[in-house]
Amino acid sequence: MKRVRKNPSARISKDAERLLQITSDAFDSGCRVEDRYWGQQLETLATELLNAGNDGAVEMALDVSFEKAPEAHDLLAESVEAVSETYYFNVLDQPHQALLVSVPMIVWSKYSIAAGHLKPADVAAIHQHLRDFIFAVESRSIVNPFLYSIDHLPQSFSETRKLLQHMANAIVGETTLAIKEIKVEAIDMPADTRMLLSVVVVPVDKPLFRWQESSASAQTAGKAASKAASKAPGKALEKALLKTTLKAAAKSKTSLSSTLPKAVAANNIILNRTECLTLWAKHATPDLAKLVPGASLELGLPDAFFRSCRECDRRVRPYMVSSAVEHLEAALSTSASQLHAIIAGVGEAQVDEYRVAFALKDSGEVVNGMIWPLVAQEDDDANPGPCEQIEAILKASNVGKITKLPGVLPPEFCEDCGAPLFYDADAEAVHPHMPDDSNLTPAHYH
């Protein structure tokens, strides 16, 4: 996970030193047996720190490793993320594992994109789709009745783990799911991500997702279902058993929404990730679209929290660029051909993100900007690289002039409001300002 480095303190805490030492030992491991040992040591210490709310030590270790040992940093980041999104606990003296899952949507609209508390009926419908197409048959799960924007998500590793534990305990009846009042308002953007958060619980070493379920268990369940169907010819189950592939099911004259989920559940049909995504998008889109009225959306595969967040960061970027152009055309009553886009690579030792400033061609005044973050191991060595991708989207959006600034520029922020600054054509960091007669604020959809 690529991170924008913060300014670490000159003095490293003892807890951070312990994390760094174990990370170094794990990175130097020469075999899988030793890998497991150090991995367990690393996750045990990270668990202790996060349970105590000591995010400072964890963040400090991540910052120092990012600066001094980037490859070891990735190992530490993976371990901390795993501890944050995974919870091991006992249910009736049997060890169980819980995973925090993100249900992601890429959303774009000329209106303000909805977020916040949801109606129980809407949550129940979406939860049923998760049960049908995403979660393993023998799992237990729950969905948080809140539609999250990036601004609403837990802001630390310990907060993420605490939310996971609360939801997992609600599944097994040890507590009642209670959602704290979130007073932060989502920032209005023409394209953004929205997420539902779910937790799935299974006994340790059992599959969490449908694509994990073994062929052996599928065959056993399939034989049992076939035997039951043979005793009751003409029932929907017999018909479903004949549809062992998604292609055959899609050609059925009966309703997919009524027969396919039952067939999948009853026969434990093995689905891969792509098939799960296809079915999920087909059946869940109408119910998820109700949550964001007046918006277009694209669904991603519900998956582990941090991986899903990174995937959202990656997938929303093209929509952010094209939507920003469309939004400026409407707000300024102009055409894209009258806009000038300036692309700047921003970071410290290397490019961590691209900042795209939008200026008026005739005046050069920067009126808006968007950030294209780099994710995972993404860099300019890719083909096409991030800068080329941004340029291609701008050209497809008919932007009149595109300038790419050379080198790596520092990540400047406004001292008054903390907002990121963008670079004009002269490579000067400036605060975007819309003309007084513009109307950039998106209206609410009614």
Looking at the domain assignment, is residue 443 inside a domain?
A: no
3-state secondary structure at position 370: strand
Q: How confident is the model at residue 264 (pLDDT cuts 50, 70, 90)?
A: low
Does residue 156 sit in the same domain as residue 194?
A: yes
Q: What is the DSSP letter of 110?
A: S
CA dihedral (49, 55, 56, 59) in degrees, to 10, reads 110
When pLDDT is averaged across residues 131-138 and rounded to a whole number, the result is 94
**pLDDT reported for residue 246:** 41
Total length of the chain: 446
pLDDT at position 72 over 50? yes
Which residue from 25, 19, 20 is spatially nearest to 38, judged by alpha carbons? 25
Which domain, by its residues, includes 233?
214-269
Q: How confident is the model at residue 110 (pLDDT cuts 50, 70, 90)?
A: confident
Looking at the domain assignment, is residue 131 inside a domain?
A: yes
Q: Domain boundary at 84, 115, 142, which?
A: 84
3-state secondary structure at position 296: strand
3-state secondary structure at position 410: coil
pLDDT at position 440 over 80? no
Say if residues 168 and 97 touch (Cβ distance below 8 Å).
Answer: no
Looking at the domain assignment, is residue 318 inside a domain?
A: no
Q: How confident is the model at residue 330 (pLDDT cuts 50, 70, 90)?
A: confident
When pLDDT is averaged across residues 338-343 and rounded to a whole number, the result is 96
| Burial track 122-153 (b if 16+ CB lie within 10 A, e otherwise) | bbebbbebbbbbbbbbebbbbbbbbbbbbebb
Does residue 77 sit in the same domain as residue 168?
A: no
H or E segment at 352? strand 351-360
Helices (H) and strands (E) in the chain, counts: 13, 14
- Overall number of domains in the chain: 4
Does residue 156 sit in the same domain as residue 204?
A: yes
Q: How confident is the model at residue 446 (pLDDT cuts 50, 70, 90)?
A: very low
Looking at the domain assignment, is residue 114 inside a domain?
A: yes
Q: How confident is the model at residue 159 (pLDDT cuts 50, 70, 90)?
A: very high
Distances (CA, A) of 331 to 107, 158, 187: 20, 41, 17
Looking at the domain assignment, is residue 246 inside a domain?
A: yes
> pLDDT by residue (tens digit) across 368-378?
999 998 886 66
Does residue 115 sit in the same domain as residue 139?
A: yes
Looking at the domain assignment, is residue 147 inside a domain?
A: yes
**Cβ–Cβ contacts within 10 Å for residue 390, how many?**
22
**pLDDT reported for residue 49:** 97
Does residue 175 sit in the same domain as residue 301?
A: yes
Say if residues 422 and 340 touch (Cβ distance below 8 Å).
Answer: no
Does residue 386 sit in the same domain as residue 399?
A: yes
pLDDT at position 61 over 70? yes
Q: Domain boundary at 27, 58, 84, which?
A: 84
Which of 117-121, 347-351, 400-404 is the least confident region?
A: 347-351
Angle between helices 157-171 and 70-85 (to 10 degrees): 30
Does residue 73 sit in the same domain as residue 179?
A: no
Looking at the domain assignment, is residue 141 inside a domain?
A: yes
pLDDT at position 265 over 80? no
Which residue from 236, 227, 232, 225 is spatially nearest to 267, judged by alpha carbons? 225
Provide the residue type at 254 as one letter: T
Q: Domain boundary at 46, 65, 84, which?
A: 84
Which of 8-22, 225-239, 422-436 is the least confident region?
A: 225-239
CA distance 261 to 265: 6
Does residue 25 sit in the same domain as residue 77?
A: yes
Does residue 157 sit in the same domain as residue 291?
A: yes
Say if residues 296 and 285 touch (Cβ distance below 8 Å).
Answer: no
Q: The domain spanning residue 416 has which CATH number? A: 3.30.420
3-state secondary structure at position 34: helix
Does residue 203 sit in the same domain as residue 289?
A: yes
Percent of the chain topping pLDDT 90? 64
**pLDDT reported for residue 181:** 67
Give the position of tokens 């093209």. 318
Give the position of tokens 């990174």. 310
**Cβ–Cβ contacts within 10 Å for residue 318, how many?**
17
**pLDDT reported for residue 240:** 37
Does residue 190 sit in the same domain as residue 283?
A: yes
CA distance 166 to 93: 19
Looking at the domain assignment, is residue 67 inside a domain?
A: yes
Q: How confident is the model at residue 71 (pLDDT cuts 50, 70, 90)?
A: confident
Does residue 355 sit in the same domain as residue 403?
A: yes
Which residue from 304, 278, 280, 78 is spatially nearest to 200, judged by alpha carbons? 304
**pLDDT reported for residue 173:** 82
